Amino acid sequence: MSTNNKNLHLTDQDRIIIEKGIENSSTKAAIALTLVKDKSTIGKEIKAHRCSYNPSCANKDECSHNHVCSDCPDFKPFKYNRRDRSPGACNSCSKYTHCRYDKFKYSADLVHKEYRKELVDFRVGINMTYEELKSLANVIVPLIKAGQSPYQVLTNHPELNISKKNSL
């Protein structure tokens, strides 16, 4: 068996390398080469986990509304095309504090904490009390013992509110 890490999840160290790459103005391809990952993986990681900060409105100079940008129907954020191409976050930009374009930061520490929390949440288990589980079993078990398939049980008893896709 190969020890190639190509198909594994990104680690905390991988995310730190991505953050440092963004800070050094490296391209997604260069970061991917460093991590031995595909550049699309790096791009998806940055786009999925970057944090946005509220930009100024592009209509700011002609606006007749007063300080209601978040609720304004005419709100239009500035678009910055270079950031969207490579690498996808503003960490390395020297004009970040004065820039009025839409801003995105990538923080490896925050992303990894979010990832770990998500892993724990997915592994928690079913979200029901013992009594609810027992009443569900009282309906399902006799039907399964009588020879019905799980699919039949779920089709004939929609009141159970169980998804056919990820159940039994």
On whether both 118 and 134 belong to a single domain, the answer is: no
What's the CA gap between 61 and 84, in Å, rounded? 25
Task: Provide the pLDDT for residue 70.
Answer: 61
**pLDDT at position 1:** 37
Reported as type and span, the H/E element at residue 23 is: helix 12-23
How many separate domains does the chain show? 2
- Residue 25 pLDDT: 85
- Residue 32 CA to residue 53 CA, distance in Å, equals 26
Residues 46 and 73 in one domain: yes
**pLDDT value at residue 138:** 93
CB 50 within 8 A of CB 59: no
In a domain, 102, yes or no: yes
Letter string b/e over residues 141-165, b meaning 16 or more CB atoms within 10 A of that residue's CB: eeeeeeebeeeebbeeeeeeebeee
- Calpha distance 109→58 (Å, rounded): 32
Are residue 82 and residue 139 in the same domain, yes or no? no
Among 12-16, 58-62, 70-74, 155-159, the range with the most confident prediction by mean pLDDT is 12-16
Q: Which residues pair with 104 in a beta bridge?
A: 52
pTM: 0.60
As a whole-number percent, the residues of the chain with pLDDT over 90 amount to 26
